[in-house]
Amino acid sequence: AAGVIQSPRHLIKEKRETATLKCYPIPRHDTVYWYQQGPGQDPQFLISFYEKMQSDKGSIPDRFSAQQFSDYHSELNMSSLELGDSALYFCASSAAPPMNTEAFFGQGTRLTVV
Amino acid sequence: AQKVTQAQTEISVVEKEDVTLDCVYETRDTTYYLFWYKQPPSGELVFLIRRNSFDEQNEISGRYSWNFQKSTSSFNFTITASQVVDSAVYFCALSEANFGNEKLTFGTGTRLTIIP
């Protein structure tokens, strides 16, 4: 079965650079979530989209932005990267009722800022 | 605001022992979902279970079982006859039942080590 695809899997950037993370949800899933997991921490919700509209926003820095495109894939854009942005970034997708599935997570993108 | 507490930071047990991971949650919602995820050393988040707040039946899946007690706001996870492959960080999580926005609030996780 198709899963959530995230690319790239690993990314190394220098401070003050920009990064773009991509997420391809499971087909027919209409909701996408982004989470950030720092070393030794639990995943923290960043932002979500339902039917290509932002549905909720968590502790996402102003330097970050995201969107969901017409084909339902999503991108997380991160600018002016800081050392503290080094983390594992997860994308998850789900389907609203009537399918009403739980969120399925991608394998994550490990971002290292040096 | 929602909150999930996993008081056990780390647990070590000898292989074949049973182990229970505790999870206590707080929410003002009357309808919500509870989850358990496994995160092995490779880093991916593996879905284990989702439980609707209206369904207090305990569930068993192979060596895994879950005990949901709404009266104590707990959703504990037991692994029977543990195996080395069970070594991982386990996260309990909570979400509102709000379609289009079921963001997860995670606990801080319990690192489980199974000693061969």
Looking up tokens 């006859």 gives B81
Count how many residues are written for chain A. Answer: 114
In this complex, which of B43, B101, B107 lies closest to A48 when CB atoms are compared?
Answer: B101
Residue from B10, B13, B5 nearest B79 by CA: B13
Is-contact B72 B65, C-beta < 8 A?
no
AA identity, residue B83: Q
Nearest to B44 among A33, A56, A105 (CB): A105
Residues 69-98 of B with CB under 8 A from A: 91
Residue contact A105–B91, C-beta within 8 A: no
Q: pLDDT tens digit string along A34-86?
A: 999 999 999 999 999 999 999 999 989 999 999 999 999 999 999 999 999 99
Q: Enumerate the residues of chain B whose CB falls inside 8 A of the CB of residue A104.
A: 47
In tens, the pLDDT along B64-115 reads 999 999 999 999 999 999 999 999 999 999 998 776 678 999 999 999 999 9
Whether omega before A98 lies within 30 degrees of 0, making that bond cis, reads yes
Task: Provide, rounded to the nearest whole percent, the portion of chain A with pLDDT above 90.
Answer: 84
Q: pLDDT, tens digit, for every residue of B50-65?
A: 999 988 888 889 999 9
